[in-house]
Amino acid sequence: MRTTAPFELPPAQQKALHEAKRLEWLTIGYLTTVVIGMYLTLGSSQAMKAAWLEDMLSFIPPIAFLISTRVTRRKPDHRFPFGYQRATTIAYLVGSLALLSFGVFLLTDSALVLVRAEHPSIGTVAPFGEPLWLGWFMFPALLWSAVPILFIGRRKLKLAQKLHDKVLHADAMMNKADWLTAGAALLGVIGIGFGLWWADAVAAAVISLDILHDGVRHLRAAVGDLMDRRPRTVDYAHEDPLPARLHDFLAHESWIQDVQVRVREEGHVYFADALVVPAKDRSIVDEIERTVDRARALDWRLHDVVIMPVGKLPGPSEPR
Amino acid sequence: MSLLTLVGASGCDDLPKDPNDTLERVQRSPLRAGAVANPPWVEHGRVAAGAEVALVERFARELGTDVHWRLGSEQELFAALEAFELDLVIGGLQDSNPYLAHAAKSRPFGASFAGHEVVIATAPGENRFLVTLDGYLHRHAAAVLGPWLPRTRERAVPGDAGAARAGAPAADGGGP
């Protein structure tokens, strides 16, 4: 059986990948300190508990990224003749689902608080003997959960563009959700301090809409990737111009009279096939077309058969 | 950002505030307290009596108000608390009491007397009232509970409660 040629990232991208991995480990270490810090200041506040659960969800994208970069390093073999690149897309699906659940969780949680008119109670703690309002301690915990992740997330966004890595992009969006939520919780705690019981929930609900929007966008993109949709840019905003470039390039070749290309994404990289009408030497074309028809007649499941004549096979055949 | 400036301007002593102004209201009209029978914290009977009853009445005195007692079951009194018909509920409530999910609770006290941590439930989200109550409990709980719970007094551990008891005579004379 034929296998895809092993894929190596270009040197610049390899450097970026190395940095991205370091950033993801940093994120995991940092999130651990946030989760511990938040746990200590939870008190009986439902709002803080929700923020804490959301922070737990943020572990999913970095872990998915680290696992997928490990898997994609494997060379194509007879079990996976197309290679392991698509592990990235699966990780992307996982990451986008985490983002979406984050948004759904936050929206339902804050909506319920508003509907039931639950007044958040924040009591006191007495680490130095005299009881002090726990709200004061929530400020540093929330600031710590907002400010560093803001910078980590921005850096990830840059690397995601460079690496054409959507997992990293979804993770950067998760980090954006993290600092937005922490900021909302901060405003919420200030609001509670001023006796506005609904402030926390309203701030969280507003933020959750933004997170939901990102989550839906990324989930659609991930599902589209798995369905071999036309390649789009990492932020999903535009169609990637690369297939058009390939088409134009082929169309300008002197031996090609007409061309159609089809490109799909396999994780970081694209796989393309092109049907071309040769301008001059058409000796082999009829034979190929006949063989394709007969090959398809072998079994109804052989739906799309591409035969490409080559001078020499790229490598030794893997066992069939 | 205007909220942040407000924080700076109003000073930390005024915060947090009560959404329903409980602390201000109880200084004008009686404190509405619920009591669940659970000796020695709240004795059985038709009038409120017991260790925690004394604790709450002393709290009311500090606030310059009276207590309007309502005796009843946990279910009934917690429903009233959640509906803001009561300001607090007592009855030897333990920290893990499931009814506390829909109420606010004070810091635990009384562990050195009865062997387990007891809290007072307050109306949800009335954070100023809660912080005031916690401050009062920190200063006076041990001294007020001491005479009521002598049986287990020898179990007292040195620490918060012991220190507060030692300073009780001076604190008894002073205001909040």
Where a domain ends, among A198, A226, A254? A226
Would you call the peptide bond into B16 cis, given omega within 30 degrees of 0 as the criterion?
yes
Using a CB-CB cut-off of 8 Å, the residues of chain B touching A129 are: 138, 160
Block residue for tokens 């096939």: A273
Domain residues for the domain of A201 are 11-226
- List the single range of A53-62, A193-202, B8-17 with lowest mean pLDDT: B8-17
pLDDT at B168 over 60: no
Residues A277 and A144 in one domain: no
Model confidence over A10-46: pLDDT tens digits? 888 899 999 999 999 999 999 999 888 888 887 555 5
3-state SS track over B8-39: HHHCHHHCCCCCCCHHHHHCCCCEEEEECCEC
For chain A, what is the radius of gyration of the CA atoms?
Answer: 26
Q: Are residues A185 and A252 in the same domain?
A: no
pLDDT at B115: 67
Contacts of B135 in chain A (CB under 8 A): 124, 130-131
Q: What are the residues of chain A with a beta carbon less than 8 Å away from any beta carbon of chain B?
A: 44, 118-126, 129-131, 133, 135-136, 187, 190-197
Give mean pLDDT, residues A269-273.
90
What tokens were used for A59? Answer: 């572990």
Instruction: Note the pLDDT tens digit of each residue in A292-315.
Output: 999 999 999 999 999 988 888 876
Decide if pLDDT at B136 tops 60: yes
A114 and A181 share a domain? yes
Provide, as residue numbers in chain B, all residues whose Cβ is less than 8 Å from the Cβ of A131: 107, 131, 134-135, 137-138
* Cα end-to-end distance, chain B, whole Å: 34
A265: β partners: A270
Distance CA A109, CA A102 (A): 11
Q: Which two tokens stand for residue B111?
A: 């562990």
Q: Minimal Cα–Cα distance from A186 to chain B, Å?
A: 10
pLDDT at site A266: 84
Mean pLDDT of chain A: 87
In this complex, the residue of A121, A131, A193 whose CB is nearest that of residue B124 is A121
- Count the domains in chain A: 2
Is the domain of A158 the same as that of A303?
Answer: no
Q: Can you give the CATH number for the domain in which A294 is found?
A: 3.30.70.1350
| pLDDT (tens digit per residue) in A215-258 | 898 899 889 889 998 898 887 788 899 999 999 999 999 999 99
**Residue B160: pLDDT band with limits 50, 70, 90:** very low
Q: Does residue B112 have a pLDDT over 90?
A: no
> Cβ–Cβ of A192/B130 closer than 8 Å?
no
Spatial neighbors of A18 by CB under 8 A, at least 6 apart, are none
- Does the structure show a pLDDT above 60 at B164? no
User: Is the confidence at residue B151, as pLDDT, over 60?
Assistant: no
User: What pLDDT is attached to residue A265?
Assistant: 86
Domain end marker among A226, A258, A273 = A226
Domain harbouring A67, CATH code: 1.20.1510.10
Pairwise CA distance, residues A87 & A303, whole Å: 25
The conformation of residue B109, written as its DSSP 8-state character, comes to: B
A165, A285: one domain? no
Mutation target vs A (from B4, B131, B160; most A CBs, 10 A cutoff): B131
Residues from chain A that touch B121, judged by Cβ atoms under 8 A, are none
A–B CB contacts, 8 A cutoff, strictly below: 87
A301 and A169 together in one domain: no
Residue A320 inside a domain? The answer is: no
Residues A166 and A282 in one domain: no
Q: Do A26 and A73 lie in a common domain? A: yes
Residues A44 and A108 in one domain: yes
Q: Which domains does chain B have, with CATH numbers?
A: 20-155 (3.40.190.10)
d(CA A59, CA B51): 48
Q: Between B21 and A95, whose confidence is greater?
A: B21
Whole-complex ipTM: 0.72
Please say whether the beta carbons of B63 and B116 come within 8 A.
Answer: no
Contact B127 A192 (CB under 8 A): yes
A93 has pLDDT over 60: yes
Using CB atoms, which residue from A119, A133, A190 is nearest to B19?
A: A119
d(CA B158, CA B170): 19
Residues A64 and A177 in one domain: yes
Question: Can you read off the two tokens belonging to residue A307?
Answer: 């035969």
Contact list, A120 vs chain B (CB under 8 Å): 124-125
Instruction: Choose one of A196, A226, A256: the last residue of a domain.
Output: A226
In a domain, A233, yes or no: no
> Phi, psi (5° rounding) for residue A278?
-70, 145
The verdict on A61 and A146 lying in the same domain is: yes
Q: Are residue A212 and residue A122 in the same domain, yes or no?
A: yes
